[in-house]
Copies of this chain bind each other. A is one copy, B any other.
């Protein structure tokens, strides 16, 4: 591959001049500029970003860390990040961590090794202290899922309030026995959503029954299993609030499979409004996060953080909204 020196030679100028043309320095005369551009064209020259990055200590790449790509919740967030990044001359690359702490650290090496200028977490398995330490050294933004007080910029929603509102909708429909299906792992969003669930019940003078609170992971099959478990309780719930669409869909699947429940369907509420929610039968009532805004703001935070490392740490909670579809109805 051609280097800047080759171009300089071909154009009969110095490498300095080539660099100036490449970077739009307007001191060069149009004649020399023309010569250089022709040489660039002819040699199909592309600047080596390693050399450039080495010199400038930046590569204009942002690393976006996803726990998995199998959740369509991330699609629009990532897309809006991309668009926002482009405005500032950045582009993004994605690392998939599979919720594995080692894998995460491996990807974060790209910060130390200067391959990327910053990293945005959609979810993290790090401890608060570790994350805080990393954020001290590098531009880090947390997006949607987050670890509290980790000393890095965060954009999310009010998970407690969102869950509270969703459970209230079930109560308004007439439900009194409402189960909570959450996460074994204490993700912040999961913890807060449970708190919202509990508050909604309490404020409606409904006793919180610990046996109606069960936990698993975010897979369809976990949802199915949790459903079976709940239905084995003597006096099963008439409604279930879940912390994820995937769990809710797993439950709906289980309720369909088991004929016993087809005549007395259970109201099920999801979370995140993934593409699954509208396409499933029955369509899922769920909480929608402003994905576009979340992604855009996260990237804005990243860019401003890179521009000024001394900025105070910011925490923003954007507005969610509830979407009523077919999977919630009055108790039968």
Q: A residues within 8 Å of B by Cβ?
A: 1, 46-54, 59, 61, 63, 66, 68-70, 72, 74-75, 78-79, 82, 91, 93-96, 98, 106-107, 109-110, 112-115, 137, 220, 249-250, 252-253, 256, 275-276, 278-281
Contacts and interface: CB of A to CB of B under 8 A. Distances in A.
A115 B79 contact: no
In the complex, the 7 A-B pairs of residues with the closest C-beta atoms, listed nearest first: A49-B113, A46-B112, A94-B94, A70-B75, A93-B93, A50-B54, A69-B69
Given A94-B96, A98-B79, A112-B1, A250 B275 contact: no
Contacts of A69: 66, 69, 72, 74-75, 78, 94
A18 to B, nearest CB: 16
Contacts of A1: 112, 137
A119 to B, nearest CB: 12
Nearest to A79: B98
Contacts of A252: 281
Main secondary structure of the interface of A (DSSP, over half): helix
A54 B59 CA distance: 13
A193 B18 CA distance: 51
Given A54-B54, A70-B72, A82-B96, A113 B47 contact: yes
A279 B256 contact: no
A253 B279 contact: yes
A109 B48 contact: no
Q: Indicate the member of A279, A280, A281 with the most B CB atoms within 10 Å.
A: A279
A61 B115 contact: yes
A115 B253 contact: no
A46 B95 contact: no
Given A1-B137, A52-B113, A69-B74, 7 more contacts: A50-B50, A50-B114, A69-B78, A79-B98, A115-B115, A256-B281, A276-B276
Most buried by B among A48, A220, A249: A48
A78 to B, nearest CB: 6
B280 A113 contact: no
A279 B115 contact: no
